[in-house]
Chains A and B, each alone.
Chain A
Amino acid sequence: MARYATGSIGEGIVPALAVKSLYKIFGNRADEAMRRLANGAPRAEALAGLPATAAVIDANFEVRPGEIFVVMGLSGSGKSTLIRMLNGLLQPTRGSVQVDGVELTTLKPAALRKLRREKISMVFQHFALMPHRTVLENAGYALEVAGLPKAERRERALDALRMVGLEEWADKLPHDLSGGMRQRVGLARALAAGTDILLMDEAFSALDPLIRREIQDQLLELQAELGKTIIFITHDLNEAMRLGDRIAVMRDGRIVQIGTAEEILTDPANGYVAQFVADVDRTRILTAASVMEKPHHVLDVNAGPRVAAKALRESQTSAVYVTGPMKKFLGTVTEDDVLRALREGRPSLDGYVSTERVRTVTEDTAVADLFADCAESQHPVAVLDDRGRLTGVIPRITLLSALASATPDEVAPVDEPAPDLAEVELVGTKGEPA
Chain B
Amino acid sequence: MSHTWSPLDVELPRVPLGAWTESAVDWATGALGPVFDAVAAVVDALVRPLDELLTGVPPVAVVLVLAGLGWWLRGWKFALGTAVGLGVVAGMPYWEETMSTLAQVLVASVLALLLAIPLGIFIAENRRASTVARPVLDLMQTMPAFVYLIPAIFFFGIGTVPGVLATLVFSMPPGVRLTELGLRQVDKEIVQAAESFGAPPWMVLLRTKLPLALPTIMTGVNQVIMLALSMVVIAGMVGAGGLGDVIMFALSQVEVGSGFEGGIAVVVLAVVLDRLTDSVGDRFPSARAQRLARQAA
Contacting A113 at CB < 8 Å: which of B198, B211, B290, B296?
A: B198
> Which B residues between 34 and 80 are near A, CB-CB below 8 angstroms?
none
- Which of these binds chain B: A2-10, A69-77, A115-123, A227-235? A115-123
Judge if A174 is at the interface, Cβ distance under 8 Å.
yes
Whether A124 pairs with B193 at a CB distance below 8 angstroms is: yes
Whether A132 pairs with B198 at a CB distance below 8 angstroms is: no
Do A130 and B203 form a contact, CB below 8 Å, given A89-B196, A116-B198, A142-B198?
no
Provide the bound-state CA to CA distance between A145 and B200, in Å.
Answer: 8
Contacting B189 at CB < 8 Å: which of A117, A126, A146, A174?
A: A126
Provide the bound-state CA to CA distance between A114 and B286, in Å.
Answer: 28
Whether A122 pairs with B293 at a CB distance below 8 angstroms is: no
Whether B293 pairs with A114 at a CB distance below 8 angstroms is: no
> Which B residues between 155 and 195 are near A, CB-CB below 8 angstroms?
187, 189-190, 192-195
Whether B193 pairs with A128 at a CB distance below 8 angstroms is: yes
Whether B289 pairs with A117 at a CB distance below 8 angstroms is: no
Which A residues are CB-close (under 8 A) to B285?
A: 132
Contacting A122 at CB < 8 Å: which of B193, B289, B296?
A: B193
Whether A121 pairs with B212 at a CB distance below 8 angstroms is: no
Whether A113 pairs with B199 at a CB distance below 8 angstroms is: yes
Q: With a 10 A CB-CB cut-off, give which of A115, A118, A124, A146 has the most chain B CB atoms.
A: A124
Do A145 and B211 form a contact, CB below 8 Å, given A124-B189, A132-B289, A132-B290?
no
Do A117 and B293 form a contact, CB below 8 Å, given A122-B193, A128-B189, A132-B211?
no
Judge if B208 is at the interface, Cβ distance under 8 Å.
yes
Closest to A84 in B: B192
Which B residues are CB-close (under 8 A) to A174?
A: 289, 293
Judge if A23 is at the interface, Cβ distance under 8 Å.
no
What's the interface size class on A, roughly?
20 to 34
Which B residues are CB-close (under 8 A) to A204?
A: none
Provide the bound-state CA to CA distance between A193 and B198, in Å.
Answer: 10
Which A residues are CB-close (under 8 A) to B195?
A: 89, 116
Whether B192 pairs with A131 at a CB distance below 8 angstroms is: no
Do A116 and B197 form a contact, CB below 8 Å, given A124-B189, A175-B292?
yes
Provide the bound-state CA to CA distance between A128 and B290, in Å.
Answer: 13
Which A residues are CB-close (under 8 A) to B208?
A: 130
Provide the bound-state CA to CA distance between A146 and B293, in Å.
Answer: 28
Whether A128 pairs with B190 at a CB distance below 8 angstroms is: yes
Contacting B192 at CB < 8 Å: which of A110, A124, A142, A193?
A: A124
How far in angstroms is the closest Cβ of chain A from B124? 18
Which A residues are CB-close (under 8 A) to B203?
A: 145
Judge if A173 is at the interface, Cβ distance under 8 Å.
yes
How far in angstroms is the closest Cβ of chain A from B294? 9
How far in angstroms is the closest Cβ of chain A from B189? 4
Closest to A114 in B: B198
Which B residues are CB-close (under 8 A) to A116?
A: 195-198
- Encode A129-144 as 1/0 by CB contact (under 8 A) with B: 1111000000001100
Do A113 and B200 form a contact, CB below 8 Å, given A125-B189, A131-B212?
yes
Provide the bound-state CA to CA distance between A84 and B296, in Å.
Answer: 30
Contacting A130 at CB < 8 Å: which of B190, B192, B196, B292?
A: B190
Provide the bound-state CA to CA distance between A124 and B187, in Å.
Answer: 12
Provide the bound-state CA to CA distance between A129 and B296, in Å.
Answer: 15
Contacting B196 at CB < 8 Å: which of A118, A122, A129, A146?
A: A122
How far in angstroms is the closest Cβ of chain B from A214? 21
Which A residues are CB-close (under 8 A) to B192?
A: 84, 89, 122, 124, 128
Whether A132 pairs with B197 at a CB distance below 8 angstroms is: no
Which B residues are CB-close (under 8 A) to A132?
A: 211-212, 285-286, 289-290
How far in angstroms is the closest Cβ of chain A from B83? 34
> Which B residues between 212 and 233 are near A, CB-CB below 8 angstroms?
212
Which A residues are CB-close (under 8 A) to B296?
A: 175
- Encode A185-199 as 1/0 by CB contact (under 8 A) with B: 000010001000001
> Which B residues between 197 and 211 are near A, CB-CB below 8 angstroms?
197-200, 203, 208, 211
Q: Could you list some 8 contacts between A and B, CB below 8 A? A: A116-B195, A126-B187, A126-B189, A128-B193, A141-B193, A173-B289, A173-B292, A175-B293
| Top 10 A-B residue pairs of the complex, sorted by shortest distance between their CB atoms | A132-B286, A117-B198, A128-B193, A116-B198, A175-B293, A128-B189, A113-B198, A122-B196, A142-B197, A132-B289
Given contacts A116-B197, A132-B290, A141-B197, 6 further A-B pairs with CB under 8 A are A118-B198, A122-B193, A128-B189, A131-B290, A132-B285, A199-B196
